[in-house]
Structure 1
Amino acid sequence: MSPVDFDSDDDKPLRAPNGGSNGHHHPNGNGHVPTQQRALSSMSDDEMPLATQDSSPLPATRTLKRKKPVYAESSSDDSEDDTPLAATPAKVAVAMPGAIQATTVPANGKGKAKSNVSKAAVSDDEYADSDAPKRKRAAKPKAKPPKKKVKQESSDDDDDKPLAAKKPSTSRKRKVKVESDVESDDEPIAKKAAAKKPRKVKSEETEKPPAKVKAEANGSATVKAEANGSPVKGKGKKKEKEKKEDEEQEEVFRWWDADAGDGSVKWQTLEHNGVIFPPPYESLPPNVKMKYNGKELDLPPASEEVAGFYAALIESDHAKDAKFNENFFNDWKTVLKKYPPLDNTKVTNFDLCDFRPMFEYFEAEKAKKKALSAAEKKELKKIKDDMEAKYTTCLLDGRKEKVGNFRVEPPGLFRGRGEHPKKGALKFRVRPEDISLNIGDNAPVPVPNIPGKWKEVIHDNTVTWLATWTENVNGNHKYVFLAAGSSLKGQSDMIKFEKARELKNHVDKIRQNYTQDLKSKVMADRQRATTMYFIDKLALRAGNEKGEDEADTVGCCSLRCEHVTLEAPNFIIFDFLGKDSIRYYNRVPVDAQVFKNIRIFKENKSDNDSLFDRVNTTGLNKHLQSEMKGLTAKVFRTFNASSTFQRLLDENTLENATLQEKLNAYNKANREVAILCNHRRTVPKTHEQSMEKVRDKQRGLKYDRMKLRHVLFKMDKKFRKKAEYQEDESDIDDEWIVSHEEDKMAKEIEKAEKKFAKENEKLTDDGKEAQDDSELKDRIANIKAEFKRLAKERGTGEAELTREKPAEKIEEAIQKLTEKIKASKLQIIDRDEGKEVALGTSKINYLDPRITAAWCKIHDVPVEKLFSKTLIVKFPWAMEVEEDWKF
C-alpha cells in the first residue's frame, strides 16, 4: 500500500507484470526491453508499492484537445476517498440510461437525519483529512478527552455471530483480531451464511472468566464441564486455538463514544518510528548485461538500475506505448550523462537497445523465489515482519494504533492512467532528506533505517499525517497516515457521512434555489445553477482545470463544448474522460431550461472552449457553503450515492428469499450506484477463467445429485415417476463425466498422499516407527477401485453408495444439492453482471456503511458476506447501528 496522495493516485511506480509481448524490437530481431532493479526483483509483494492493474488507453471517439488552463484550484474530489483499494484499469465506454430517475430522492424520506456527531466536531475544514503540512505549532488543550475502551470477544465461530450487537455502555471493553495488512474490496471473509447471535458483553469490574461466561450463556453440561476444568472430548484443540487468538487480540478505543473535541486538535501525544526505506540497489551479476547495437553494454549501478525498471516491462503493454518509451528514454539518457557506460559507448538510439538479457534474469529470479518451499517462504516472511514490526504501529495519546503505510516507495517508472503525458518518466529514490516528520513535542525523533537526516521534524497536532514528501514526476504530496481502522480515520469517515446525511434536510431548498437561477439574467449564476443541476442529478464530480503536463480528464466545471452534444428535443449526450481516465458516456433527458442553457453556453464557441467559462470549483464550493455549512460538490455526490442506495434496498421485498437471493439484491443496488458514480472497470482478463471454474463447480453439484437420483432409482423404480427426480443434468455429458471422475480420483490420491506423509511425520516426532509405503499403496489401490466402480455405472442410470442410507436421507441430500445448484446459478448471474463494475469504490467512499449494517440485521445476512475484513475494521462505529436506522 503506497502512501496517500491527495492530488492524484496515478503515480504509483510500475511493477513487473507477467505476460504480454514486447512492443519494441531490435532491428536484428532481438526484443527491446528494459530491466528491473535487483532490489525490486528480490522483494516480496508486500515490499512493493501498491500497483494498479494494466489500463489500456480508451479508443477515443474524438480527439480531446488540451486548452490552456484558466483556473488552478484543486478539486475536492481528488482526495484519497476516491481511490479504490484495488485499483482497476477502467477504460470502457459505458452507457447509463435513466440516471436522473435513479438519483432523484425525496428529501422528506423515511428516517429524519439525526447526527451522532457533536456540532463542534464538524468544522468547515473537517470533510477530509488535513492534506497540507502546517508549520505553526498548535496550542495544547488543557484537558484530554475521556478514553473509553471495550473488548470485543472473538471465537472460532465469529463468522456466525454479529460483529456488533446493541450499542454497549462506554465502560465496556471488547477485543478484536489484529487487522490484516491485505486489503480486499469485495472478497467476503466468512463463508457461513447463518445469522449471528448477539454478543454478550460484561462490564470491566464484573467480567467473569471466558469459560464461565460461555458456560452460563450456553447452559450446557459440556460447556460447564469445561469451565470447571473437566476435560471434554474434542474440545482441547479448539480451546487452545481460542486462547492463542485471545493473546493476539488488542483493546480498541471506542472513539465514537468519546467526546469528539473541538474538531481542530487531532491528538495530544504522538510517537512513531518514522518510515522504512527500500534497500539500496544491488548490481546484477557480471554475466547479465543489456546490449546496445548487438554489443554488451557495461553500465554503472545507477544507470543499470534505471535500465532494469524498463527491462522488467518489455513483455507488457507499456513497452508498446510510444509515449511511455519516449519519456523513459529521455530520462535514462539524462542518467547516462551523469553515469555513462564504463566503455564510453554513446547510447543515442532507443531502437538499438536490447534489454532482454536483463528481463530473462529477472524472470529466472522470480521462478527461483516461486520454487522455494513453504518453510523457506515462511522464514523469509518472518525475517521481513520482524524487521518491519516497529514501524507498523504508533502511540497516539498513549494508545497503540496501526499505521496505514510505513514503506517508502522504491524508485521506478511512472505509469499514470490513460493517456497521461508523463507516463514512463523516472521516479527518483526518496531519501530521508526529502521527508518531513510530524511527531509529539516530547517524543523521541526516530532514526532512519538508511544513512541521512530528516528534512524537518514538526509537532503539529492539528493534522493527522505522520510523514510527508513530494514526488518528482507530478509534484504531488505523498502522506503517511494511520490505518483505515484507526480512530482518526474513523472520525473523518463518520463526519463525512453525517455531513452528507445532513444535506437531506437542506436539499429541497437548494434545488429550489438553483432551479430559479437556471433562468437568471446573470450568466455566471445561470452557469453555476446548471453545473449544480448536473452534479445533483448525475452525481458528476466537480472537476478542475489541468495543466499541459497532466492527463486530459475533466469534471463538470471543466467540461468543454466538445464533451456535450445536444439532441432534440431534450437529450444531452456526455462523452468525456473522468477521473483516472475512465470514459463517461451518458445520454440523458434534461429539463427544457437546462437544454436551452447548454445551447446558449455553446453559442459562438469552438469545440475546445470551456462550456462553463464563468464557473470554477472554488466559486462553486463557496456558493454551496452559503447554502449549507460544510457543503461541497463531493458531499452532494456522497449524498446521492447513499440515498439512492437506501432507496433501492428498501424497494426490494425479500420475504422468504434465500441468502443468495438477498446477496444478489444487495449487489444489484450496489451496481446501480457504482454506474451512477461511473465506477467502472475493464472486464478482468481472468474473468472467463473464473466463470468457468464456477460453472464447473456447479456441474460437480449436478453430478452428485445425478448419482443420488440413480441410487434412488436402483432402490425402487417408483422414484423415477416423481417429478422432482425426472430432471436430467443436460449440461453433463459423458465426456465431462469421464474428465470429472479422473480429476476427482487424482485429487483423492493427492489427498491420501499428504495425509500419509503427515501421519508419518507425527509418528516420527513421537519417536515411533513410520508406516511402510505399502500402506499408502493399499490406500491408493482402494481409491482406484472405487473410481473403477463408478466408471462401470456410467450410462446405466443406476448407482450405489459406499455406505447404505435410507431413502429419506438420500431425498434430503438431493433437496440440499438442488438448493445449492440454485444458489450457484444466482451467483453466476451476479458475477457476470458485475464484471464491468467496480463495487468496492462506492462501498469504501460513497455508501454510508450504516445502511449495510442495518440491512444485514433486518434480513439476517452476515455482514461478512458483503464487507471484507478490512471494511469491518474500517467502520466499527457503523456495525452497532440499530436495524431500523435509515440514511
Structure 2
Amino acid sequence: MTVKPKHELSSDEEDIPLNSQKKRRRANATPANGNDIKIVKKEEDGYDSDEALSKVSRASKVSKVPKKNKSQKKKKEVPQKIVKEETANEEDESRDASIDAEDFKWWENQNKDDSIKWTTLRHNGVIFPPDYQPLPSHIKLYYEGTPVALPPQAEEVAGFFAALLESEHAKNPVFQKNFFEDFLQVLKESGGAKNSIEIKEFEKCDFRKIYDYFELQKEQKKQLSPQEKKQLKLEKEEFEEPYKFCFLDGRKEQVGNFRIEPPGLFRGRGAHPKTGRLKRRVYPEDVVLNLDKEAPIPEAPDGHKWGEIRHDNTVQWLAMWRENISNSFKYVRFAANSSLKGISDYKKFEKARQLKEHIVTIRADYRKNLKSKVMLERQIAVATYLIDVFALRAGGEKSEDEADTVGCCSLRYEHVTLKPPNTVIFDFLGKDSIRFYQEVEVDKQVFKNLTIFKKPPKKPGHQLFDRLDPSILNKHLQNYMPGLTAKVFRTYNASKTMQDQLDLIPNEGTVAEKMLKYNAANRTVAILCNHQRTVTKGHAAAVQKATEKIEELEWQKIRYKRAILELDKSELKKDPKFFEEIEDLTKEEEASIHKRVIEREREKYNKKFARENEKRKFDKEELLPESQLKEWLERVDELEEQYKKELETGEIQLKATLQNVEKLRAQIDKLDQRIETSTIQLKDREDNSQVALGTSKINYIDPRLSVVFCKKYNVPIEKVFTKSLRDKFKWAIESADENWRF
C-alpha cells in the first residue's frame, strides 16, 4: 500500500516523516522542566527496539504535562513517579513479550472462536509523509512561456505530474485530463497564481523546468557515497523502529504498512477511468486508531489530533482512513508474519481442504442441473462449472468510475465466442485489468447452455448470466459447506493441481534440476489461475548476461582441456570423447570472450578503487594513491597480453598450482556443474518471463505443499521461500512433514 513520494527533496530531513521530524526537534529543544530532561536523556542514551513501544507511549504522556499552568507544577512530580514505576514493569514485559512471540506456536492450539481477535492491543500509531518542501524560487511551471508563481498546494500537485513527465502515464490523455481538472481545483482552493496568471489549457503548460530539477536532485542523491547512504538509512530505520511493532495480547508483533500513503497522482491498473486523479494528503484528523481501552494513546503530530480512537477487538486493523479516489477505507494491519495473519492464512487453506469432502457431490449436482428446467439453476450450474474447471473468478458489478474488469457472473455477450461443436473462446479483462484469453473445449451441455444464454434479443453489452450474481452463487454454494464461496474453488484447485504435479516429480537429480521441476509445477498452477505478467524491461539484458556467463564457463573448460593435452598428450587416446569440444570455439569467438573478461576486470578494479576511497574519505583516513589503481590495471594488461598470446600460439598459460592433470580434471568437473546449473536457471528464467509464479505460490498454493517438496526431496527451504516468506509461513514449515498431503 505504501507508495514512494513522486520526487526527491534536498533537505537533510527529506526521508524523515512528519512525526519524527517534530519529535527530533522536541528532543533537541530545551526541556520545559527537569522531569522532561530525565525522560529525554534516557531515550538518547541507548536505543532498544524491544523497549521502543513503552518508551514512546510514556514520552507522549509526559510531553503533555508542560501544557498545565504554573499553579499545577508541584503536582507534576506525582505522575512522574508513576511513569517511572510503569517504565520498569513495561520494559520487563517488553523483553518477555519479544521472547514469547518467537515461541508462540498458535497452530498447535487453535481457538475455534475467532470473533474476538485480541484482548490487548498497543501501538504507536502511524508515520505521516513529510511536509511539502517548496521548490527553489527560480524553478517554475511555465504557461505560454511565462513563469507562474504557484501557491505551495498547487505547486506540489504540479510537481507530481512533472515527476512523471517522461513516463507513459503522462502521455495518456485520460491521465492528463484527470490531473489537470484536479490541479485547477487545488489552484482555485489555494487562491490562484500569485502573479495572477490564469491557467486554462493543459497544452500550454510546460513542466520541463520542474522535471529537470527533480532529475538533478535524483542524480545528486545517487552521488552520495555508500557510507552516506548507509548513514541516512540507519537514521531512517531508527525513526521508524517504534512504529514497526505493536503489542498484541502481550506479544511483540510486527506491523505491516505503518506509513500513511503520501499524496500523489493515482495511476491504477489497466485502462482505469480515474488514472491521474489527485490522491489528497491524509491528516491525523482523517485517521481512526484502534487500541485497547487501557492503552496509552499515541501522540498526534503538533497542531493536530486524531479523528477517532476506537477499542474494537473484533477487527484486525490498527488504524484506518478514507481515501478520496474510490472513497474506500485504507487500513494499517499486522505484518504478513504476524500470528493473526498466519491464522487467517491457515484457515483459508484448511477451508479449501474441506472442499475435498464435498467436491464430488457439488460436481454431480451442477452436471445434473446443466439440464434443469429452471433457468437460474442452469446459470448457477454453468457458472460453477466454469469456476471449477477453468478457475474463473466469481466477478461482480462495476460502477462507471471503475476499470471494466469482469469475472464469471459479470461476463457479457461479447466476452464469449462459441465455435461448434464445443469450443469456447473467452476474451475479457480480469482482475487488475489482466487479459484473460483462452480457447477451450467444454462439456457439450455447457456449450448448449451458453448458446441459449446468447440467444437474441441478447447482443453486445448484455449480461450472459442475466439472473445470477456472486451473492446468489455463494448463497447456493454454502448449502454444501459453511463458508464455501467461489473463491475457495480457486484455492482448492490451485493446491490440488500443485499436489498432483508434485506427485509426478521423481526424487532424483541435483537441487537445480529439482527446482526446475518445482517451478514447472508452480507454472502449471499460475497458468490455471491466469497469473500473467509482462516481460520486464531488463529481461533481455539479463538473458544475454546469463548466456555470456555460460559461454565464458565453456571457454574456461576448453582452456583446461587444452592444458591437459599440453601436459600429457596420451590423455587424448585414453578418452577421445572427453576432448571433442576443444575445437568448438572459433578464434573470433574466443577473442570476443577475452574482450568481455578483460573489460569486466578493468571495471571491477576501477569500482574497487572508487569504493575504497569513498569509505576512507568517510572515515577520514588517507586515500589510496593513483599508483594503486595503476598497479591493479597493469595486472589486467598482463592478463590481456596472456590471452592474446594464447590465441596466437594455442599454448595455455596456467598458474603453477594447476600444472597437474588430476587438478585440471577436478576444475573441469566443477565447471560442468556450474554450466549445468546456469543453463537450468536460464531456461527457468525464460520459461517464467510471462508467468507470475509468486502470486500462486503465496496466495493460492497451500504453503505446506512447498514445505513437503523441500523435506521430501532434500531441497533447502531457502530455495523456495525468501526470508520474509519463511517468516510468513513459519506455521507451515513447522507443522508439515514430508508425508503431509493436501
TM-score (norm 1): 0.71
Secondary structure of 1:395's match? Answer: strand
After superposition, residues 596-745 of structure 1 pair within 5 angstroms as: 596-604=448-456, 605-655=458-508, 657-721=509-573, 722-728=576-582, 729-730=584-585, 733-745=589-601
Shift of 1:249: 12
Is the alpha carbon distance of 1:500 and 1:730 closer, same or farther for their aligned partners in structure 2, counting shifts above 3 Å?
farther
One-letter amino acid matched to 2:581: E
Match of 1:331 in 2: 182
- Which residue number in structure 2 is paired with residue 572 of structure 1? 424
Deviations 1:293-328 (A, max 9, x none): 110011010110110110111111011111110011
For 1:669-719, what per-residue CA distance to the aligned partner results, in whole angstroms no more than 9, with x for missing partners? 111111111110111111101111111211221122122112112101233
Match for residue 802 of structure 1?
A: 655
In 2 relative to 1, CA 249–747 (structure 1 residues): closer, same or farther, beyond 3 Å? farther
Structure 2 distance, partners of 1:437, 1:539, is 38
The aligned amino acid for 1:255 is W
8 Å CA contact 1:745–1:787 kept in 2: the answer is no
DSSP-derived class of the 2:247 partner: strand
* Structure-1 separation of matches of 2:247 and 2:741: 36
1:638–1:846: 8 Å Cα contact kept in structure 2?
yes
Aligned-pair CA distance for 1:335: 1.1
The 5 Å alignment of 1:87-166 reads: none
Corresponding residue for residue 350 of structure 1: 202
Taking a change above 3 Å as real, the CA distance of residues 701 and 572 of structure 1, as seen in their structure-2 partners, is same
Alpha-carbon distance in 2 for matches of 1:789, 1:502: 68
Structure showing greater Rg: 2
Question: Aligned letter for 2:686?
Answer: D
Q: Aligned to 1:531, what secondary structure does the other structure show? A: helix
Q: 1:834 to 1:530 in 2, by over 3 A?
A: same
Report if aligned partners of 2:157, 2:264 keep a CA contact under 8 Å in 1: yes
Corresponding residue for residue 283 of structure 1: 134
Deviations along 1:781-809, one digit per CA (max 9) or x if unpaired, are 44533442232111433312212332112
Structure 2 equivalent of residue 9 of structure 1: none
The 2-side partners of 1:485 and 1:250 are apart by 11
Alpha-carbon distance between aligned partners in 2 of 1:576 and 1:617, rounded to the nearest angstrom:
18
Q: 5 Å matches for 1:17-416?
A: 36=7, 38=9, 251-339=102-190, 340-416=192-268
**CA contact under 8 A between 1:38 and 1:283: conserved in structure 2?**
no
Counterpart amino acid of 1:452?
H
Please say if residues 563 and 576 of structure 1, whose CA atoms lie closer than 8 Å, have aligned partners that are also in contact: yes
Number of aligned positions between the proteins: 655
Shift of 1:345: 1.1
Mapped pair 1:863 → 2:701: no
Name the residue aligned to 2:741.
886
Deviation at 1:885, TM superposition (A): 0.9
Partner of 2:646: 793
The one-letter code matched in structure 2 to 1:634 is K
Residue 73 of structure 2 is matched in structure 1 by: none
Give CA deviations for 1:113-132 in whole Å, capped at 9, x if unaligned: xxxxxxxxxxxxxxxxxxxx
Give, in angstroms, the shift of residue 380 of structure 1. 1.3
Deviation at 1:388, TM superposition (A): 1.3
CA deviation profile, 1:545-582 (whole Å, cap 9, x unmatched): 00111100000000001101110000111000000000
SS at match of 1:847: coil
The 1:310/1:783 distance shift into structure 2, 3 A limit, reads closer
* One-letter code aligned to 1:743: E
Measured against aligned partners, the alpha-carbon deviations of 1:13-50 in whole angstroms (never above 9, x if no partner) come to 6865xxxxxxxxxxxxxxxxxxx585999855999xxx
Q: Secondary structure at the match of 2:525?
A: helix
Shift in alpha-carbon separation, 1:453–1:320, aligned structure 2, 3 A:
same
CA offset at residue 451 of structure 1? 3.1
Asked whether the 8 Å contact 1:37–1:282 carries over to 2, the reply is no
Preserved CA contact (<8 Å) 2:602 2:636: no
TM-score, normalised relative to structure 2: 0.84
Cα separation, 1, equivalents of 2:616 and 2:205: 56
What secondary structure, in the 3-state scheme, does the structure 1 residue paired with 2:649 have?
coil
- In 1, Cα distance between equivalents of 2:678 and 2:504: 24
Q: Which residue among 847, 852, 868 is the counterpart of 2:706?
A: 852
Aligned match of 1:95: none
The answer to whether the 8 Å contact 1:39/1:280 transfers is no
Determine the C-alpha separation between the residues in 2 that align with 1:824 and 1:549. Answer: 48
- In structure 2, relative to structure 1, the CA distance for the partners of 1:780 and 1:690 (3 Å cut) is closer
Whether 1:837 aligns to 2:683 is: no
Task: Give the deviation of 1:421 after TM superposition.
Answer: 0.7
CA distance in 1, matches of 2:738, 2:14: 46
Take 1:803 and 1:751, find their aligned partners in 2: how far apart are those partners? 29
Q: 1:752 to 1:661 in 2, by over 3 A?
A: same
Decide whether the 8 Å contact of 1:274 with 1:437 is kept in 2: yes
- Between 385-394 and 790-799, the greater mean CA deviation after superposition: 790-799
Q: Report the aligned-residue RMSD.
A: 2.7
* Contact 2:422 2:443 (C-alpha < 8 Å) held by counterparts: yes
Residue in 2 that maps onto 1:489: 341
Counterpart AA for 1:735: A
How many angstroms apart in 2 are the aligned matches of 1:770 and 1:322?
A: 53
Identity across matched positions, percent:
48
- Aligned pairs (5 A) from 1:435-584: 435-584=287-436
Q: Secondary structure at the match of 2:271?
A: coil
**In the aligned structure 2, how far is the partner of 1:479 from the partner of 1:521?**
46
Residue 38 of structure 2 is matched in structure 1 by none
* 8 Å contact from structure 2 (residues 15, 130) kept in 1: no
Deviation at 1:652, TM superposition (A): 2.2
In terms of fraction of residues, the more helix-rich structure is 2
Code of the residue aligned with 1:785 in structure 2: it is E
- 1:3-14 paired onto structure 2 within 5 Å: none
Maintained 8 Å contact 1:14/1:412: no
The amino acid that maps onto 2:130 is P
Distance in 1 between the 2:738 and 2:566 partners? 51
- Give the superposition deviation at 1:527: 0.3
Secondary structure, counterpart of 2:651 in structure 1: coil
- Structure-2 separation of matches of 1:820 and 1:872: 27
Evaluate the alpha carbon distance shift between residue 539 and residue 15 of structure 1 in structure 2; reply closer, same or farther with a 3 A threshold: farther
Aligned to 1:50: none
Question: Which deviations, in whole Å up to 9, do the C-alpha atoms of 1:614-648 show, x marking residues without a partner?
Answer: 11111111111111111111111000001001101
2: CA distance between counterparts of 1:755 and 1:345? 49
Letter in 2 for 1:791: K
What does 1:823-834 align with in structure 2 at a 5 Å threshold? 823-834=677-688
Contact 1:558 1:612 in 2 (8 A): yes
Distance 1:366 1:496 in 2: 43
Maintained 8 Å contact 2:423/2:447: yes
Structure 1: stretches of 5+ with no match in the other structure = 3-12, 17-35, 48-246
Deviation at 1:653, TM superposition (A): 2.0
Label 1:845 to 1:351 Cα distance change in 2 as closer, same or farther (>3 A).
same
1:423 pairs with one of 275, 288, 306:
275
User: What is the CA-CA distance between 1:852 and the residue it aligns to?
Assistant: 0.5
Change (3 A) 1:534 1:752: closer
Q: Secondary structure at the match of 1:800?
A: coil
Distance (Å, rounded) in 2 between the aligned partners of 1:739 and 1:487: 54
